[in-house]
Amino acid sequence: MIVRTTLLKTVLAVLLVTQSAPVFVNASQDPASLAPFVPTPYQVVDRMLELAQITENDVVYDLGCGDGRIVIAAAELYGARGVGIDYDPERIAEARANAQRRGVGDLVTFIEQDAMQADVSDATVVMLYLLSSSNIKLRPMLTKQLKPGSRIVSHAFRMGDWQPEVTQEFQDARGGTRTIHLWRTDGKERP
Ligand SMILES: C[S@@+](CC[C@H](N)C(=O)[O-])C[C@H]1O[C@@H](n2cnc3c(N)ncnc32)[C@H](O)[C@@H]1O
């Protein structure tokens, strides 16, 4: 059983890295899991922040924040406030320690919570690096809660039939192709 779970997590991590996860893939045998922990490379983090045109007036959420690198970078580079949400207590402890180390503990907050239960109503930007199926699960609550004009940026994965406003493709430091997408909410709820 342990071997099967480990194997499944490895396969899913590879899918995240290769960006080829089909929409029907379950994140793991844990029904709450939206994706395994695979951090976004810093070069891609920078591109996501640029695509969202982050400023110090933004409140940046990362649903499934891992080690907190996206909201920490938004705070460090742009002075934005940030909230990272992850259901894994180890990730939250790591993210809080990283924020203290980088001197942005006053700008960022990390919450141990299921992202499906999150309140993102004060976000101006939501960052995602999950799976297509997970983005689709989050889509109703994102489009219901976010104020019109909020930006959603996803590393690699799309949101079903909701077409992104911008898609950028570029080579990462290892020569792999990375894709990031931007959507802007318009007040229309998308189930
Ligand atoms: C692919 S990693 C992305 C980490 C970070 N956002 C980044 O881009 O570097 C996905 C993260 O989502 C978290 N996660 C998975 N399911 C979740 C859920 N239901 N609620 C909150 N976090 C979840 C995992 O623990 C993991 O840290």
Q: What tokens were used for 58?
A: 């933004």
pLDDT category, 29, cuts 50, 70, 90?
A: confident
Closest protein CA for atom 27 of ligand 1? 66
Q: Which amino acids bring their CB within 6 angstroms of ligand 1?
A: 16, 32-35, 37-40, 62, 64-66, 69-70, 85-88, 91, 114-116, 129-130, 155
pLDDT at 188: 96
Which ligand 1 atom is at minimum distance from the Cα of 35? 15
Please determine, for residue 12, whether its predicted confidence score (pLDDT) is greater than 60: no
Task: Determine the atom of ligand 1 nearest the C-alpha atom of 16.
Answer: 1
Reading the block at residue 151, the tokens are 């930006």
Please give the residue that has the higher pLDDT: either 13 or 177.
177
112 DSSP β-pair partners: 86
Mutate to test the pocket of ligand 1, among 38, 44, 48, 86 (most ligand atoms within 8 A of CB): 86
Q: Say whether pLDDT at 10 is over 50.
A: no
Residue length, the chain? 191
Ligand 1 centroid to Cα of residue 187, in Å, is: 26
pLDDT in tens, 44-103: 999 999 999 999 999 999 999 999 999 999 999 999 999 999 999 999 999 999 999 999
- Dihedral sign computed on CA atoms, order 157, 160, 132, 128: positive
Check if the beta carbon of residue 116 is closer than 8 Å to that of residue 145: no
Q: Over 90: is that where the pLDDT of 13 sits?
A: no
* Mean of per-residue pLDDT scores for the chain: 90
Query: What superfamily would CATH give domain 2-184?
Result: Vaccinia Virus protein VP39 (3.40.50.150)
Q: Percent of the chain beyond pLDDT 90? A: 83
The per-residue pLDDT for 28 is 55
Confidence class for position 26, pLDDT limits 50, 70, 90: very low
Q: What is the position in ligand 1's atom list of the atom closest to the CA of 62?
A: 6
Whether 5 shows a pLDDT value over 80: the answer reads no
Give the model confidence (pLDDT) of 141-167 as tens digits: 999 999 999 999 999 999 999 999 999
Distance from the alpha carbon of residue 94 to the mean position of ligand 1, in angstroms: 13
Integer Cα distance of 169 and 177 in angstroms: 7
